[in-house]
A and B are shown apart, each in its own frame.
Chain A
Amino acid sequence: MTVRNVDIAVLGAGPAGMAAALAAAGGGADTVLIERENHLGGILKQCVHDGFGLLRFGEKLSGPEYAGRFVHMVREAGLAVLTSTFVAAARHDSEESVLMLVDRSGVTELHAKAVVLATGCRERSARQVMIQGTRPAGVMTAGAAQYYVNVLGYLPTTRCVILGSGDIGLIMARRLTLEGAEVLGVFEAKSTPSGLSRNVAQCLDDFGIQLHLSRTVTRIFGDDRVEAVETAAVDEKMRPIAGTEERLTCDGVILSVGLIPENEVGEALGVPMDPVTKGPVMDQNGQTQVSGVFVCGNAAHVNDLVDYVTESGERAGAAAAAFVAGRRTHRLLPLMADSTVLLYAVPQFVDMDAPESGAVVYFRSGEELGVTVVEVTAGGETVARHRYQHLRPPEMERLEIDLNRIPVSAGSLNIGVESAAAAEMTS
């Protein structure tokens, strides 16, 4: 077994990890980027659709193009990259993290002064949405279907239903249709779509694919292969309504029922998690509650835009480099989201001693809202406010706050919706 020391280990070479590694190395730290797959790029490699990079590059790129630009930057910067390398075990000691790496040459014990978790997220599986019983072929996540079609060039279904209306499900409804499969409909148990409105428009409406809201798949038939499904309408508590069942003959059930941040390594390092975001508790630079362990991208919380994933990676990588260069003080104020209107807001803490005076807050609303003013208050002062045309749970919003505006006496920050009367007066 070999032993190796580095300043910073970045785990995962998707958009978050590539941005983090570039920023960390740019900050003067000896950095290594570790990827379990053969190639850099993460999930973007199979996202052949366009729409990536509008904020970052002002262009509508496909996933491989967006990833490719960063792969080129990683090469030009001459970053140390380990591909086909797994983190088999991890622990955190007081001054460093120790990662057991396994690759084709064997086992390496890597000692890193700082770690950036850029491990992305996983799709919720059939078992996690209580689809039990036999395992006929043809039940798969949208991401798995995407891999079959876009990377392997196989059509995994000829006639399918899509359960759940997440963005990848909508994207795959279009992709499978374009490749000649018949998509019988998208079934969403909730009363509103989970994916972005533009994806409902360009992926379903363009092809006449029906979106059935408040309706779900209640049974899957078939032994070796899916033969049919039963769908039914559901009430507000998502219980199937008797008498509304319909049987559809098909050979595939594509699941798009949510994403969960992937934090096995973070957990091994002892990083406390937020039960709402399912990602680590962190500050605005991705510093978790374990000193020297940072998080970014979808491992921190599920984003809908890669541009924001890159942004968070750059912040975490720069912060990790600063951490390695010299310790500084931290003064953390909790950011409390008003849970009656917001699903969540991150970061969970704002570090008032951070050198940059700007901090970015991301949040999602709990339900669809029309014109809404969201404000951040601290110590009785409004430190940031923004008026939104609409807020929808699938659409993550971004708000910048200036730490200089936070009164020294403030013990916490609160983010919520400005009262209707106040909004009326100021709009």
Chain B
Amino acid sequence: MRELTCIVCPNGCSLQVNQDVGPWSITGNLCPRGIEFALKELTNPTRTVCSTARTSFAAARRLPVRTRGEVPLVRVRSVMSEISRLVVDREVRMGDTLIENVAGTGIAVIATADLADLIEGEDCDGRPIRSSD
């Protein structure tokens, strides 16, 4: 019997997986996504990786990024090291692809903010109010 905490949604169901005899039985889930999660968790656990990337804009030092989908948990470190080598040098927008196939996972890394919105010294109209750095 394995105990898992489902991480699909904030309910955080405690799942009990019985792998002893026959087909695995999964209980404790409030919805079908719990079954899917448990099966994946015990065969090939995957995670979304969220981080930040360096930029070449002094006024916006970091751009928040994430993997568009989930990558194998065992690949998270390689994904992180590839993201840490990334330097964003153009004004990307939320959802833009920054790396097509990160660490050979087939999954893209995307921007999760509009870079223009992060530039220190601009209000929400994009009008400069103060120079910085």
Contacts and interface: CB of A to CB of B under 8 A. Distances in A.
Interface of A: 38-40, 45, 48-51, 54, 60-65, 68, 71, 74-75, 81, 83-84, 104, 149-153, 178-179, 196-198, 200-202, 205-206, 304-305, 389-390, 395
A395 B80 CA distance: 30
A197 B62 contact: no
B117 A198 contact: no
B48 interface: yes
Interface of B: 4-7, 9-10, 12-14, 30, 47-52, 54, 61-62, 64-66, 73, 76, 80, 94, 112-114, 117-118, 120-124, 129-130
A196 B117 contact: no
B62 A153 contact: yes
Contacts of B76: 178, 206
Residue among B76, B80, B113 with most chain A CB within 10 A: B113
A113 to B, nearest CB: 24
Contacts of B13: 389
A152 B120 contact: no
13 contacts: A38-B120, A39-B118, A48-B66, A50-B50, A54-B9, A60-B48, A68-B114, A149-B52, A151-B62, A179-B80, A197-B12, A200-B5, A206-B76
A386 to B, nearest CB: 13
B121 A395 contact: no
A152 B121 CA distance: 15
B113 A68 contact: yes
Contact of A39 (B7, B54, B124): B124
B124 A40 contact: yes
Given A62-B112, A196-B10, A83 B62 contact: no
Contact of B124 (A50, A75, A178, A198): A75
A40 B52 CA distance: 19
B18 to A, nearest CB: 19
A31 to B, nearest CB: 15
Contacts of A196: 10, 12
B121 A38 contact: yes
Contacts of B51: 48, 178-179
Contact of A198 (B5, B113, B121, B123): B5
A68 B94 contact: yes
Contacts of B62: 150-153
A138 to B, nearest CB: 21
A202 B13 CA distance: 13
B10 A305 contact: yes
Given A54-B10, A68-B113, A48 B50 contact: yes
Given A48-B52, A178-B80, A153 B61 contact: yes
A54 B31 CA distance: 14
